[in-house]
């Protein structure tokens, strides 16, 4: 699963640390998600979508290999 968290974060003018605080995870978790090294849980994905005010499908999407 791929994501555009980094792009959405830039649009919202949030640092990794600020986003991490808003969704109650570490900055390292946000970094790993942005690098596509960590697939978040459904709950975490929904929290991130809520922070950005976007539907889940606008932030997370399946890769051709998924």
User: What gap in Å lies between CA 34 and CA 7, rounded to an integer?
Assistant: 9
CATH code of domain 2-59: 1.10.260.40
19: tokens are 């986003």
**Each residue's pLDDT tens digit, 4-20:** 999 999 999 999 999 99
Which residues is 2 bridged to in the sheet?
Answer: 61
**Each residue's pLDDT tens digit, 37-54:** 999 999 999 999 999 999
Q: What is the pTM of this model?
A: 0.92
**Structural domain spans, the chain:** 2-59
Cβ atoms < 10 Å from Cβ of 55: 9
């Amino acid at each position: 699963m791929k994501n555009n968290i980094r792009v959405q974060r830039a649009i919202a003018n949030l640092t990794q640390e600020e986003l991490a605080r808003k969704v109650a995870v570490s900055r390292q978790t946000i970094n790993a998600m942005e690098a596509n090294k960590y697939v978040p849980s459904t709950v975490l994905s929904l929290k991130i979508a809520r922070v950005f005010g976007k539907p889940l499908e606008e932030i997370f999407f399946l890769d051709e290999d998924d």
